Structure 1
Amino acid sequence: MLTAHSGKRLENNYSLNTVDICPVGALTSTDFRFKMRVWFLKETKSICTSCATGCNTIIGTREDVIYRQTPRENDHVNSCWMCDYGRLNFKFLEAENRLLEPQIRSDGKLIAADWPAAISEASLQLKQFTGNEIAIVASGRMTNEELWLTSQLAKSLGVQWIDIVPRREPGDDILLSEDRNPNTNGARLILGSTSEPGAKLMAIAEAVKSGEIKALVMLKENAMHLGMPVEQLAQLPVFIVMNILAHEATQKATVVLPACGFAEKRGSMINGKGRLQRLNRAARPPGNARDDWEILRDLLQAVGGGDSLSSSDDVFRRISEKAIAQAVAIQARRRAVGRKVHEARKALGVRRD
């Protein structure tokens, strides 16, 4: 008989790890028990996106349904453990309010559209305005590849108003980080922000309220959580939303672009300790939802700012090339400074001991 210590309950954010280490399978998870035979599952190596730790995981699926998420050993990140919060945080991918089709506002109503029409409409709407009339709110839940394409979109449109939404909640000094965005470091690096995440959000909200911003692009975030009431969103000439789930704000969008969840796409993220890690696709998205990077690539090309990119790996190579070029430039500047210091010392007759 298995039981907890007298007077104690096995009730904490790491209790499901006992299921993983039980040598005989006597301990089972009520969330997974009797739902699927383990040997029928397709196992995909990936990472948890519930916080900045980025625990390495194995996602168990069958026929594009996610049945469980378990820890994968990586001594540099999470050893062989993960918290229950991250382990169980995938049910939203099958929510009833999942966005399944692109939509365009016509005669005051959102109607279903195909992808070429939705991308074309979004592009036409954005090109009506100058860069200082457009704001982009991205997400620390996006991959490096998606963030790079977002930065290129902002550059092509001349957008200066761009930021991500910070998520801070209590951590536990074990694995659960206070930073609930999995890719804050990637966003900082790729978007080139010199300020803290979220520093521009209040100004963006005020500019929307005053009418200074006429086009708002929300990527994987809810504008209402940023202090923008639905009445203000309804007054925006252009409100483009790329997201997974429908909510009150999406009902006011001029274009809706249904995207993928973390288990439905490939990409990379940089965790809280600066480790680059890979996200892998374990299931196909439902309906007509598309991979985020493809949506952003097509939108970038439609506004006239992109060339052919056939995969997220192509985008990663672009990021790598830029990072290498930056590193070379930094080294060149350091060498130039070193030469100037050497020449100055020589001119002054200063000797190095």
Structure 2
Amino acid sequence: MEVEKMLHMKGGNEDTSYSKNSLLQRKVISMTECIIKEAITDIYCATNCPKTIVMADLGCSSGPNTLLVSNAFINIINEISLKMGHESLEIQIYLNDLPGNDFNTIFLSLPKFVKNLRKDLCMSNPSPPSCYFNGLPGSFYKRLFPSKSIHFVHSSYSLMWLSQVPHIQETNKGNIYMSTTSPPSVIKAYHQQFKSDFSMFLKCRANEIVSGGRMVLTILGRRNEDPCSKECCYIWELLAMALNDMVIEGLIEEKKMDSFNIPQYTPCSKEVKDEVEKEGSFTINCLEVSEVNWDANTDNRLNLPDKNGGYNVAKCMRAVAEPLLASHFGESIIEEVFIRYRKIITERMSKEKTQFINVTVSMTRKA
């Protein structure tokens, strides 16, 4: 599987698109608002108030969440610069994702976004910042920007995706991800791929971020140090169940199933901390673990499930996984596999509390 070509959220604006099924990711971003604001405020004050301040959102995808952090960044900078009496400020925003991302949808949404943004800024600031947006296709496991050119980097729910499927020596029979039934060599291969990728990510950003610059990353992860923990593998195990049923019925070739593995690794906070400290270019300011219900429509305060919870979760996962499944198994299985997946998810959610675990780390580039 060529991950750079195949890995992207489902584009467009139809019912099963990522654009229509990304409420969960929006909730996760909203949970980190205070951390993001602290980092942006710190970088503006720590870099002697530059005339041009540059932000990069890595793994921006497309849809209603794409410009969420950019909007917050601009408003926070505007608020601070206004208080400090700074004028003629310029803000540069880079929106990055892999080439298969639906950048057209982003570009089409920008004129209206910029118009509304300008209107809002002018209500509080007679001389608001000038804002410039750029789409930047490419893997964040490689260099993306000139040296020492970026002040703030943000990424949410992207860094658990690996640069490639790990080199697995043994067949991960009946599984599409790490599982308690996976051979130890499979678990080791996934872990090694994460360490290699995350280390490369940190090295690249260390070259690109200015001294004192900030980076806030939120990664789908786990609390438990066991990489096969149910809290991070369960959602894929249920999809594997649907696929295995179709293998038994002859709807999917067994060898196709045996050769499919999800290019993802969900780290615990210790693994993130260890790699940051090992790479050595960043100081960790904050490292937090949080949780969010599988169904973003669930009332977190009362823990009341939505009656369509299984349907919502299956659509959310389809928006994420369909491009990978279609590229490997073909388009013809998609409807059937997600009908089965929805039934399995609904049944499990009726009996269990199901949550995703998030690891958020805020860092400063060392001098």
TM over 0.5: no
Q: Which of structures 1 and 2 has the bigger CA Rg?
A: 1
Say which structure, 1 or 2, has more relative contact order (CA 8 Å, 6+ apart): 2
TM-score, normalised with respect to structure 1 = 0.32
In proportion to residue count, which structure has more helix?
2
Instruction: Normalising by structure 2, report the TM-score.
Output: 0.31
